[in-house]
Amino acid sequence: MQDSGHTPEWTGQTVERLMRNGKRIFTSAFKAWLVEQAGKPATSVAGLALRHGVNANQLRRWIRLTEQRSNERAPVLLPVYIERVRVPVGPTAPVSSAASTATATATPIEIEVAGAVVRVYDGLDVRRLRMVLEALRA
C-alpha cells in the first residue's frame, strides 16, 4: 500500500515484551495511538495495521474495546442532604434511657431519589440500602 504522507509514523516503542511462543505484547501508548489514528477520517484500518506490523483484526478489536470503554456510563451521584432530627422522647418512647438518648440525637442522612425520600440512620445494613436505592433508580 502506498503511503500518502498524511499519516504520521509511530516513533516510540511498540512491543512491550515478546512471549516464548512469539506472541508480542504491545505497549498501551502504541495501542492508544493506533486507535486514535484509525479514528481519523479516510483512514484505512487495514492499511494502518499493515504499515505498523499489527494484524488488522487485532487493531479492530482494540478500537471496539476503546469504544466500549468510552460508552460506559459514569456512576450517577445522588444529592445528599443532612438534617438534624430530634426524635420526641416521652411516655411512648423506648424504656431504656441510653437507647432514647441515642435515638434522640441520631442524625439521619436523607437521600431523595425519584421523588421519594430515604432516611438512613446509623447501623443500617448497606446491602439493603443499595437494593432500595437501585429499585428507586429503576
For 112-137, what is the mean pLDDT?
Answer: 77
The reply to whether 66 and 48 lie within a common domain is yes
Do the domain assignments include residue 39? yes
Domain termination residue (choose one: 25, 53, 71): 71
Region label for 7, one of left (φ > 0), alpha (ψ between -120 and 50) or beta (otherwise): beta
Instruction: Provide the domain count of the chain.
Output: 2
pTM over 0.85: no
Percent pLDDT > 90 in the chain is 33
Condensed to tens digits (0 to 9), the pLDDT of residues 65-108 reads 998 888 777 667 777 666 666 655 555 544 444 544 444 456 77
The reply to whether 61 and 109 lie within a common domain is no
Do the domain assignments include residue 95? yes
The reply to whether 87 and 67 lie within a common domain is no
pLDDT at 93: 46
The reply to whether 52 and 89 lie within a common domain is no
For 10-18, what is the mean pLDDT?
Answer: 88
Do the domain assignments include residue 10? no
The reply to whether 88 and 106 lie within a common domain is yes
Q: Which pLDDT band, with edges at 50, 70 and 90, does 111 fall under?
A: confident
Asked if 13 contacts 24 with a C-beta cutoff of 8 angstroms, the reply is no
pLDDT at 133: 77
Do the domain assignments include residue 108? yes
Instruction: State the cell numbers at 9.
Output: 509514523
The reply to whether 60 and 92 lie within a common domain is no
For 3-20, what is the mean pLDDT?
Answer: 78
Condensed to tens digits (0 to 9), the pLDDT of residues 29-51 reads 999 999 999 999 889 999 999 99
User: What 3-state DSSP class applies to 132?
Assistant: helix
Do the domain assignments include residue 88? yes
Question: Whole domain around residue 25: which residue ranges?
Answer: 15-71
Domain termination residue (choose one: 29, 45, 71): 71
Task: In whole angstroms, give the CA distance from residue 85 to residue 64.
Answer: 51
The reply to whether 62 and 87 lie within a common domain is no
DSSP state of 33: H
